[in-house]
Amino acid sequence: MARSLALDWRVSRPCPVAAQRGPDNDRLGGGGGTQIASDGEGGAIVVWQDFRTYDATHDDIYAQRVDAAGAPQWSAGGVALCTAADNQYYPTIASDGAGGAIATWWDNRSATGYFDIYAQRVNAAGVPQWTSDGLALCTAPNNQIIPTIVSDGAGGAIVTWQDDRGAAGYIYAQRVNAAGVPQWTADGVALSTATAAGKGSSPVIASDGAGGAIVAWLSGPGGPGSYYIYAQRVDAAGAPQWTVDGVLCAGQSCNPPTIASDGAGGAIVTWQDNRSGADIYAQRVYGSGGVAAVSPPGAPARFQLLAPSPNPSRDGQLTIRFNLPSTERVSAQVLDVQGHRVRTLATDREFPPGTQVLGWDGRNNAGVSLPNGVYFVEVRAGTHAEARRAILLH
């Protein structure tokens, strides 16, 4: 007889973190949704946009901690992180490394009617740690929206957002320490202020493992259907590390990206891409700002010189094959047993990825047939070089 077994509360049953809802929970597509961060002890802290005081112009930010057994740890219905006037939208959250978390959101409390960026830290006991109703990270002119957040590894966080202070689509960031003190330039540092076709939106963020972060965003349009993915690294002191306005990670018909640290100072970015249908693409960007070369399907993982054939060669004709993982400039030569070059086969010649072929007719550079014996074929591709033995038997 078939049986089922509930292995864990996290799989077998939902855990309510709040029972409140407003009279129109579909007003913003089902609300601002929930975001979650680990509490470092097997549980999690959840933050959400809350409608319990709904009056058409008033959404708040609440949070709840749930332990590894599925039991809410804070006040029934969660604790308020912000109940300021007007609307607070779409929070995101990161662990503070001490059992609590830091949440950020876009906030409409300003009398100007524009959105600003706010944040609040809540400790493991559910007590907000910073200014009542949150700390202002950016109140620059015009709208600041769509913040995302990552831990800075020191109890604080780095927040990035889309910023309209000068022209729609700038990308800014701010670091805030564990005490709630912004660490960088007032209202944040600019990661991209490109205009026209370079306008940025939908930023995402990952730690660089050194107190800074890597931010990726959608940029464009640069023409009909042309949206690109750009990225920028900002160090712990708030200094952008790469090309002004970011490095290009991908181009075509991209959709908003997501990002994860690669554990080596860089990041891997992924997105849905419409260049040939709704496909999924990914790109790695190194801590230096270099973008990983992507080999086409079937290309080898590394440079490799294969054994010449036929070997021995009895008619003076030899085929030399080598594998390239990416486009490289190649030099190839034939050496005698004393290491003297007797024939040049290629000099700084560009080859595409994949298996490539060169030929040797058993002659030297003067066109004279070489005597029977042992020779060595050496191929260099970029910084890599390999040699293989070849035998001539006329």
170 pLDDT above the threshold of 80: yes
- Per-position b or e across 227-248, b if 16+ CB within 10 A of its CB: bbbbbbbbebebebebeebbbe
Is 261 among the domain residues?
A: yes
Which tokens belong to 24?
Answer: 């129109």
Count CA atoms closer than 13 A to 261's CA, side-chain side. 14
Q: What is the pLDDT of residue 29?
A: 28
Q: Which two tokens stand for residue 363?
A: 């002659």
Identify the domain containing residue 27 by its residue range.
9-285
Two tokens at 167? 């022209």
In a domain? residue 297: no
pLDDT > 70 in the chain, percent? 84
The pLDDT, as a whole number, for residue 196 is 55
347 token code pair = 């000099």
Rounded Cα–Cα distance for residues 161 and 207 (Å): 15
Same domain assignment for residues 265 and 333: no
Burial, 17: exposed, middle or buried (Cβ in 10 Å; 0-12, 13-18, 19+)? buried
Cα–Cα distances (Å) from 253 to 194, 250, 278, 291, 324, in that order, read 19, 9, 10, 19, 29
Per-residue pLDDT at 322 exceeds 60: yes
Higher pLDDT, 328 or 152: 152
pLDDT of residue 239: 96
**Cα(371)–Cα(196) distance, integer angstroms:** 67
Question: Which of 129, 121, 116 is closest to 84 using CA atoms?
Answer: 116
pLDDT of 23 strictly over 80: no
Does 308 share its domain with 213?
no
Q: Is residue 354 part of a domain?
A: yes
When mean pLDDT is compared across 6-10, 173-177, 316-320, 387-391, the lowest value belongs to 6-10
273 band by pLDDT with thresholds 50, 70 and 90:
confident
Q: What pLDDT shows up at residue 299?
A: 61
What's the domain count of the chain? 2
Closest alpha carbon to 63 in 84, 88, 91: 91
Is the same domain home to 215 and 267?
yes
pLDDT classification of 8: cutoffs 50, 70, 90: very low
Q: Domain with 333 in it: what CATH number?
A: 2.60.40.4070
Summarize pLDDT for 101-148 with one digit per residue, the tens. Answer: 999 999 999 988 899 999 999 999 999 999 999 999 999 999 999 999
Record the pTM: 0.71
Q: What is the CATH number of the domain that holds 215?
A: 2.120.10
Q: Calculate what percentage of the chain has a pLDDT beyond 90.
A: 55
Residues 186 and 213 both lie in one domain: yes
**Which of 186-190, 287-291, 377-381 shows the lowest per-residue confidence on average (mean pLDDT)?**
287-291
Q: Does 187 map to a domain?
A: yes
CA distance 154 to 134: 20
CB 145 within 8 A of CB 165: no
Six token digits for residue 91: 């929070």
pLDDT higher than threshold 60 for residue 223: no
User: Omega into 147 within 30° of 0, i.e. cis?
Assistant: no
In a domain, 3, yes or no: no
Task: Assess whether 357 and 219 both reside in one domain.
Answer: no
* Domain end point (choices 231, 251, 285): 285
Q: How does strand 157-163 pair with strand 200-207?
A: unpaired
